[in-house]
Amino acid sequence: MEKTKCTTPLFFPSIFLASILLLARETDASCNPKRGSYNKLFVFGDSFADTGNLGKLGREFTHCWYVPYGTTFPGKPTGRFSNGRVLTDFVASFMGVRSPVPYKSRKAGSKVLSYGMNFAVGGAGVFDTGNFQRNLSEQIDLLKQQIDCGVFSVCDLKMSVGMVAVSGNDYSYVASRKNSTEAAFDMIPSVVKQIKSDIERVLNLGVAKVIITNLHPLGCTPYFTRGRNFTDCDVLANMGALVHNTALKQALSQLDRTQSSVLLLDLNSPFYDIVSQVKGLT
């Protein structure tokens, strides 16, 4: 783990998102947030949420820094794995705040810290995925460093929402390394257990609420469909995503029995609805 380094800023002085409308727009100066009054977003995860943390390693390895990425939003490549907005941008918009600054750009000035911080990085997993990117626990370490350095106060945390976006890199990594979709099934209990532990840690740091995504239909992604000429989904991989999602839901119910601190954001259903409408891809 890195040593804590406290740095001073350069300057002083869609339907699957409907469930997060409760993260609304007012702020309360008393540091006792009213229901829905949150003004900072702390983001952890992978390419579903990364807004610029992955280094520029050349077009072959970091497509996200080159056209056509970013052409629709924000108008140029910024490290987002999309030609438009990613999940972080949508959640921030529904909260009524700007998308939080990527951790890599945190020294750009104090103003960029007003809306939280994004620690997510493309290719990351819950555990290490063989590409030298910070895993979920290490990303949370970075938030703790920022808190320890006084960048974010107790009040900031009480007014904040955490988002954890996990899109299955652990499973893809194991399936590729062992050349077996079935091998990924064995990882599900440990991955879900670690996600639960990581969410608990974020809450213990003082973040008021945490959003966690479930898995989209993994078997319909390019990694699993390329062996089928991109015309057919991998049924076993999709089944694995459902097993993961069921286990995750059960784990979260144990962590947050009142269902007031953790919100499960369903990505699987809307993704599958879209994919099922594509002719020749089922």
Q: If we measure between CA atoms, which residue out of 262, 151, 176 comes closest to residue 212?
A: 262
pLDDT value for 33: 64
Q: For tokens 């990364």, what's the residue?
A: 50
| Sequence spans of domains, the chain | 17-46+110-276
pLDDT value for 204: 97
- Quick one: tokens of 244? 């993961």
Phi, then psi, of 158 in degrees rounded to 5: -65, -25
The verdict on pTM exceeding 0.95 is no
Q: What is the mean pLDDT of each run of 10 residues along the chain (282 residues)?
A: 51 44 46 75 98 86 88 91 96 96 91 94 96 96 98 96 98 90 92 98 97 96 85 91 98 84 96 81 58
pLDDT value for 63: 87
Phi, then psi, of 30 in degrees rounded to 5: -75, -5
Q: How far apart are CA 118 and CA 19, in angstroms?
A: 21
pLDDT value for 28: 46
Order of strands across the sheet that contains 160-165: 101-102, 116-118, 40-45, 160-165, 209-213, 262-265
The CATH label, of 3.40.50, 3.30.70, 1.25.40, 3.30.710, for the domain at 17-46+110-276 is 3.40.50
